[in-house]
Amino acid sequence: MGDFVFYSMASGSSGNSYYIGNGQYGFLIDAGISGRAIVKHLKAINVDLTQVRALFVTHIHKDHTKSMSVFGNRWNIPVYTTRKVHVMIDEANYIHKKVSKINRRYIEHEDRIQLGDFYITSFFVPHDAVDNSGFIIEYKGIKLVLATDIGHATPQLIQAVKEADYLIVESNHDRQMLENGSYPMELKKRVASDVGHMCNEDAAQLVATYRKDSLRHVFLCHLSVENNTPELAVATMRNALGDKVPVDALNRNVPQLFILS
């Protein structure tokens, strides 16, 4: 593997999990699929649990937290999220096993922490859960930004986009497909709301407006299976950016490894 890698193991409403590392060690962002599946996927790129130094959780929804307690309890891996999210996890009846207190770690919005040669900064993103986070990951001067489950662009998100050398951003749905699709009206309203999910058009406008000239790659995450297609999401972003920046849509359940440097 390269010196700085991004590994998408799952991206979508059925589960989300990413690994970021440098060949010797790394960390996870979200554990919304089974722990067994994550371990299997990591082994496929020659990463074992001894190399995983932490798990960062973006928010409380089950497609991001499914196996969180497995890492925090059985495998003794520190779990980082905001204090409010840890409290909500304790109160959530669908999360049956809670992270042991000894492995709970707190990273509040705007905090910057160090894990070896990586620096991770949390920032707030709007979604219909409590205290949702995006992350800026800096490694040897290169910044990778991850922002998923975004209702709308905020000053914090815009600033993160401005800093990104690599950007992982939600491109959940096509507006017309959502409007004409089979979702119940209440669900359509939720998805399209300011605390729902970012559509292809808004994601493309966000990146095209605020990216820096040296942006190297855009990865589109959390695509809807009912109201989007990878081809449409990529085409919308490419139409906004032109041919200057590579664009890839992350697969819902097929792992994809990207060498960033």
pLDDT of the chain, 261 residues: tens digit per residue? 569 999 999 999 999 999 999 989 999 999 999 999 999 999 999 999 999 999 999 999 999 999 999 999 999 999 999 999 999 988 887 776 788 889 999 999 999 999 999 999 999 999 999 999 999 999 999 999 999 999 999 999 999 999 999 999 999 999 999 999 999 999 999 999 999 999 999 999 999 999 999 999 999 999 999 999 999 999 999 999 998 899 999 999 999 999 998
Total domains, the chain: 1
pLDDT at residue number 144: 98
Which domain range does residue 40 map to? 5-259
Q: Distance (Å, rounded) from C-alpha 149 to C-alpha 58?
A: 9
Q: How far apart are CA 240 and CA 201, in angstroms?
A: 9
Pairing of strands 26-29, 17-21: antiparallel
Using DSSP's 3-state secondary structure scheme, residue 146 falls into strand
Q: What is the CATH number for 211? A: 3.60.15.10
Cα torsion 113, 116, 118, 124 to 10°: value is -20
Cα separation, 24 vs 130, whole angstroms: 34
Q: What is the pLDDT of residue 96?
A: 67
Q: What are phi and psi of 257, to 5 degrees?
A: -105, 130
**Distance between alpha carbon 142 and the CA centroid of its chain, in Å?**
18
In whole angstroms, what is the distance from residue 138 CA to residue 75 CA? 26
- CB–CB of 245/4 below 8 Å? no
**Sequence letter at residue 27:** F
What does the pLDDT read at residue 115? 98
Q: Which two tokens stand for residue 69?
A: 């307690």
Q: What is the per-residue pLDDT for 1?
A: 59
Tokens of 180: 């004409």
Tokens of 118: 């990586």
CA atoms of 66 and 28, how far apart (whole Å): 13
Q: Which two tokens mark 240?
A: 């906004």
Closest Cα to residue 29, out of 57, 65, 7? 57
**How many CB atoms sit inside 10 A of residue 163's CB?**
16
